[in-house]
A and B are shown apart, each in its own frame.
Chain A
Amino acid sequence: MGPALEVAGLTVRRGRSEVVREVDLVVGEGECVCLVGSNGAGKTSLIDGLLGVLPTRAERLEFHGEDIAGTPPWERVRRGLVVVPQERELFPGLSVLDNLELGGVALSRGKARAGTLDDVLALFPRLAERRAQPAGTLSGGERSMLAVGRGLMAQPRMLVLDEPSLGLAPMVVTTIMAAIAEVNAAGTTVLLVEQNVHQAFALADRAYVLEHGAVVGSGPTAELAGSDLMQHGFLGSAAHGTVVDT
């Protein structure tokens, strides 16, 4: 069986500028891969390109061996490529439960499983407590949980999370990361975009480093963690442009 996601030469445009250029990325089935990079490195644009909400050009864009280039976002979600966006993008006036139910909207009626909702509520008991509340009234941590939970409702084959811990208290970050680990352990492929390198590296098997819209390094997290790139590359600016050979 091939990889879950195979991307070669992916270029993503935002307006007139190419914000991601010639990116190669492979995520194996069941793997947890993280994508790190400083603010403005193009991480979110890359994700938007994967979902198909930004225009892309690619030599290869395959999901579980099928070409998904040019397909609309709803088609990709239906195939199991689900993105939990950085801005959460919840439905603020709708209840927590409605938000979760809408998460499964792309599934055909036959595929929708009643148990999925129970699984998500078991993963985030806080959401069960808040089920009738409008999503707009939730705290930052609860919103992040709801965004992840809503993503899981689509029964993803691969879950892409764009900075799920952004702006959250350390306790909540731990909860979210534990949930992601649990989802990954249950067999779902995970692509985790993070600025919080320590948390992300603890979870992921491999990592890609993105800088100025291009991949400047990649490899097993254990090796990358000690490298010059991680020490100076995007955390500081001393070794700008350094490419580690991995």
Chain B
Amino acid sequence: MSSTLVQLVLTGLLQGLLYSLIGLGLYLVFSVMRVVNFAHGYLVLIGMYGVLVLDPQNLLDYAVALVIVAVLAAGVGYAVERFLIEPGLDKGGHSQLVITLSLGIVFQYTFQVLFPDPFQTIANPWPWDAVTSGGVTISVPRIAAGVISLVLGLAVSWLVYRTRAGKIMRACSESLSGALHVGVHVPRTYRTTFVLGAALAAVAGGLLLPIQPVSPLLGLELTVKAFIVVVIGGSGALWGTVVAGVLLGLAEAVGSLYAPGSLATSLVYALFFLVILLRPQGIVSSVRTA
């Protein structure tokens, strides 16, 4: 393999891990609450703009900034779930679609008013700029974002599959009626899930900022990417989302090799059309018997 290709694959892999982390929040909310959160990408923007405002000058400041945006997004997530999504959940219909879509638009215009300058970023908070080996150069913020995303992904997986709280979340996901019959406090579980998803999204945003400048329109793009990751990953298991995220990152990176700029992006989406047509249930489908 040429060093260009190695570089692209590594870059794509690291970017993909970040997409996985963004997708995980959406996946959790969708599978536990059956809510399609069209505002998810804007929760990522809360993380990006939050870190932008805090403007960390060193690694410690950056770590603190990530924690702050996680807490901030968790608070926003709680309010959104409690006061906008929860009231419509047992009413049937599709109120949450309208609510999360509208919420995304509200977020977008709010960010546009607060941050009129597009494509803002921060200085590299890491003490090193890049790692170079054999003609392959990868920036340290990118490596860090990928590695931290992977660690957080593993932590979420541990939470979902190994803890009591995770078992309750899976119970709600498997059968809402079953959860009610065993006495799960369903609204509390929903709030926890949504808060967790929002916090993960914000941390992902904070990790993304040193790699990619932020602008208000990025929210929609990230929402779409998170959707692709969740749909391609399938509803069966969390690791499907992680694999799909990595695939998206790789497809974008390698696609850029064969097609220029925005054409590459459209090729990626065309490719996912194909995947969905061939395997509509996603990578990992749910195991269900009649």
A interface residue numbers (CB < 8 A to B): 51, 53, 72-74, 76-78, 82-85, 87, 89-94, 98, 101-106, 134, 136-137, 150-151, 153-154
List 15 extra interface pairs beyond A73-B183, A85-B177, A93-B174, CB under 8 A: A74-B183, A74-B185, A77-B182, A77-B183, A83-B181, A91-B174, A92-B175, A94-B170, A102-B171, A102-B178, A105-B183, A105-B184, A137-B289, A150-B182, A151-B181
Contacts of A77 in B (CB 8 A): 181-183
Contacts of A94 in B (CB 8 A): 167, 170-171, 174
A134 to B185, CA, bound (A): 24
Question: Is B170 within 8 A of A93, CB to CB?
Answer: yes
Question: Is A73 within 8 A of B180, CB to CB?
Answer: yes
For residue B287, CB closer than 8 A to chain A, the reply is yes
Question: Is A103 within 8 A of B174, CB to CB?
Answer: no
Mark B158-175 against chain A: 1 for CB-CB distance below 8 A, else 0. Answer: 000000100110110011
A23 to B170, CA, bound (A): 36
B interface residue numbers (CB < 8 A to A): 164, 167-168, 170-171, 174-175, 177-178, 180-186, 286-289
Contacts A/B (CB < 8 Å), 11 sampled: A51-B180, A51-B181, A72-B185, A74-B180, A90-B178, A92-B175, A105-B171, A105-B184, A137-B289, A150-B182, A154-B182
* A89-B181 in contact given A94-B171, A101-B167, A102-B171 (Cβ < 8 Å): yes
Question: Is A89 within 8 A of B178, CB to CB?
Answer: yes
Question: Is B289 within 8 A of A90, CB to CB?
Answer: no
A53 to B164, CA, bound (A): 24
A89 to B289, CA, bound (A): 13
Question: Is A78 within 8 A of B289, CB to CB?
Answer: no
Question: Is A106 within 8 A of B184, CB to CB?
Answer: yes
* A106-B183 in contact given A91-B174, A91-B175, A92-B174 (Cβ < 8 Å): yes
Question: Is A91 within 8 A of B180, CB to CB?
Answer: no
Question: Is A89 within 8 A of B177, CB to CB?
Answer: yes
A213 to B180, CA, bound (A): 24
* A91-B170 in contact given A74-B185, A106-B183, A154-B182 (Cβ < 8 Å): yes
Contacts of A78 in B (CB 8 A): 183
Give A73 Cβ to nearest chain B Cβ, in Å: 5
Contacts of A89 in B (CB 8 A): 175, 177-178, 181
Give A102 Cβ to nearest chain B Cβ, in Å: 5
Contacts of B182 in A (CB 8 A): 77, 102-106, 150, 153-154
Question: Is A92 within 8 A of B167, CB to CB?
Answer: no
A121 to B209, CA, bound (A): 53
Contacts of B167 in A (CB 8 A): 94, 98, 101-102, 105
| Contact for A105 among B168, B175, B286, B289, CB less than 8 A | B168
A104 to B178, CA, bound (A): 13
Give B277 Cβ to nearest chain A Cβ, in Å: 26
Question: Is A53 within 8 A of B174, CB to CB?
Answer: no
A73 to B180, CA, bound (A): 6
A204 to B8, CA, bound (A): 72
Give A89 Cβ to nearest chain B Cβ, in Å: 4
A105 to B287, CA, bound (A): 24
Question: Is B288 within 8 A of A136, CB to CB?
Answer: yes
Residue of B nearest to A84 (CB): B181
A86 to B129, CA, bound (A): 62
Contacts of A106 in B (CB 8 A): 182-184
A36 to B66, CA, bound (A): 60
A98 to B182, CA, bound (A): 12
Of B170, B178, B180, the most chain A CB neighbours within 10 A belong to B178
Give A200 Cβ to nearest chain B Cβ, in Å: 21
Residue of A nearest to B180 (CB): A73
Residue of B nearest to A52 (CB): B180
Residue of B nearest to A76 (CB): B183
Contacts of A72 in B (CB 8 A): 185
Question: Is A73 within 8 A of B168, CB to CB?
Answer: no
Contacts of A91 in B (CB 8 A): 170-171, 174-175, 178
Give B161 Cβ to nearest chain A Cβ, in Å: 10
Contacts of A153 in B (CB 8 A): 182
A72 to B182, CA, bound (A): 12
